[in-house]
Structure formats: structure tokens, C-alpha cells
């Protein structure tokens, strides 16, 4: 498997929670602004052909399901479940947005196996990939955007300004964590490796990449019972 299980700074116990919050808020705000979650919709809509209910696999981080919710029909029922005690007891389309890379291989496979064994659909969505363009974006454009947009990120926080301009911890950690995240991503081949040994009858998997409309790609995995 190409993917590496490297701990990001914001996932460590020693890094202050209020700085992690600032970074996650920026990520969510930025993804909202550029509508970076919109390319996920074709995959999500395919999953919703099997149900009208979404089960969000919650994992601490930024730019998660809230960035995708704005594109959904208001009539769709949404339920959140804790990834730490995941049992796939709900009925509906299980969705992970920009967070599946945070799970190690055992946890990731366990989530997929539990959902498939319950014959429920699942969509794994990641807005990043390991292309050179994405590396440039995560290591140059995103940290630069942290500096340029700090006064405008909502909710406004004075500590965001202080730790961006006076002590530039936020741009530095955003750069480092973004770079590390690229090594943690499950590429389509990695996702195929995870699902290859999940032996569930009448259940199909498909992984791949899709254009994001801005010169990059999204990574996805979709699984659902065969009709």
C-alpha cells in the first residue's frame, strides 16, 4: 500500500486545541468559499439512488461534511455517527468527507466491512490527491491564503491574527499538515486493496479519480448492494 500512516501536528496531544480549531475553521471556510466540495456531488448522488438518508461518519477535522451539506436537498435526512465507536447500525448512505485518510488501515477496513456487511451504501470522498499540482496547492497556495485571508475567516478570532502575523504558527502548521496529509491519502489502488478482501455477497465497490473543475482531481470510493 502506497499510503503512509503519519501523524499530523493537529492530531497530536501537545499542539494547543485553540490553534487546531483555528486551522480547521480556516479549512472549512476556505472550502466553502471556493465550493471545493461540489465535485463530490456526482458520487454522492449515485449513492443516494439506494437511499434517501445520509449517515455522516464524524471525524475531528476541517472541511468535512458541512462543506458538502450546502449542495444537498433540504429534505434529505442527515444523521451523524461517531467514528470512534463505529458499528454501522444506522440505515442509509454512509459518507466520509475529507477525513478517511485520518484512519489507519485497520480502522478504515473495519468501517468499510461493517457497512458492507449491513448491505448499506457508502461514499468515501477526498478533495486532495498526490499530483504535483495538488502538492503545489497544499504547500504554497493554501499557506499563502492563510496569511492573506486571516482577517476575513469566520468566525473572527483575534488569536488567528496573532498567530498568523505576529507569531506565524498557523501558516507553518497548515503547510506542514497539508503536506503530511498528501502522504496519508488512500489512492484508488489503496482503496481497492482495502476492499479486495471484504467478502460480502452481492456488494460492489468502485474507486477512482474525477476532475474537480480547477485542474485537479478528487478521490472517491463508492460501495453499494448490487441491484
Phi, psi for residue 9 in degrees, rounded to 5: -60, -40
Residue 172 lies in a domain: no
DSSP, collapsed to helix, strand or coil, labels residue 28 as helix
Residue 195 lies in a domain: yes
Residue 154 lies in a domain: no
Q: For residue 62, what pLDDT is reported? A: 85
Residue 4 lies in a domain: no
Residue 93 lies in a domain: yes
Q: For residue 222, what pLDDT is reported? A: 98
Residue 157 lies in a domain: no
DSSP, collapsed to helix, strand or coil, labels residue 64 as coil
In this predicted model, what pLDDT tens digit does every residue of 115-149 receive, in sequence order?
Answer: 999 999 999 999 987 777 777 888 888 899 999 99
CATH of residue 52: 3.40.50.150
* % of the chain with per-residue pLDDT over 70: 100
Count of domains for the chain: 1
Q: For residue 116, what pLDDT is reported? A: 97
Residue 101 lies in a domain: yes
In this predicted model, what pLDDT tens digit does every residue of 45-78 receive, in sequence order?
Answer: 999 999 999 999 998 888 899 999 999 988 899 9
Cβ atoms of residues 101 and 63 within 8 Å: no
Q: Is the dihedral of CA 102, 108, 112, 115 positive or negative?
A: negative
111 pLDDT tier (thresholds 50, 70, 90): very high
In this predicted model, what pLDDT tens digit does every residue of 203-225 receive, in sequence order?
Answer: 999 999 998 877 788 999 999 99
Residue 144 lies in a domain: no
97 pLDDT tier (thresholds 50, 70, 90): very high
Q: Which helix (H) or strand (E) holds 210?
A: strand 203-211
Q: Is the pLDDT of residue 175 over 90?
A: yes
Give the domain extent around 66: 9-131+179-225
Amino acid at each position: 500500500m502506497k499510503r503512509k500512516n503519519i501523524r499530523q501536528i493537529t492530531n497530536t496531544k501537545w499542539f494547543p486545541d485553540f490553534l487546531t480549531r483555528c486551522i480547521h475553521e480556516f479549512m472549512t471556510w476556505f472550502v466553502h468559499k471556493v465550493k471545493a466540495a461540489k465535485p463530490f456531488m456526482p458520487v454522492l448522488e449515485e449513492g443516494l439512488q439506494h437511499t434517501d438518508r445520509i449517515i455522516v461518519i464524524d471525524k475531528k477535522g476541517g472541511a468535512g461534511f458541512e462543506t458538502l451539506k450546502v449542495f444537498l436537498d433540504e429534505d434529505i435526512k442527515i444523521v451523524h455517527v461517531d467514528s470512534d465507536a463505529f458499528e454501522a447500525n444506522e440505515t442509509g448512505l454512509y459518507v466520509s468527507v475529507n477525513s478517511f485518510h485520518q484512519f489507519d488501515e485497520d480502522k478504515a477496513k473495519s468501517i468499510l466491512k461493517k457497512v458492507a456487511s449491513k448491505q448499506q451504501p457508502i461514499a468515501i470522498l477526498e478533495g486532495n490527491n498526490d499530483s504535483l499540482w495538488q502538492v503545489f496547492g497544499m504547500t504554497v497556495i493554501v499557506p499563502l491564503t492563510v496569511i492573506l485571508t486571516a482577517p476575513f475567516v469566520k468566525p473572527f478570532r483575534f488569536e488567528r491574527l496573532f498567530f498568523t502575523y505576529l507569531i506565524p504558527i498557523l501558516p507553518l502548521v497548515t503547510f506542514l499538515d497539508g503536506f503530511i496529509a498528501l502522504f496519508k491519502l488512500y489512492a484508488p489502488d489503496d482503496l481497492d486493496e482495502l476492499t479486495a478482501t471484504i467478502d460480502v455477497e452481492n456488494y460492489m465497490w468502485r474507486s477512482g479519480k474525477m476532475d474537480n473543475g480547477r485542474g485537479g482531481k478528487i478521490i472517491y470510493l463508492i460501495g453499494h448492494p448490487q441491484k
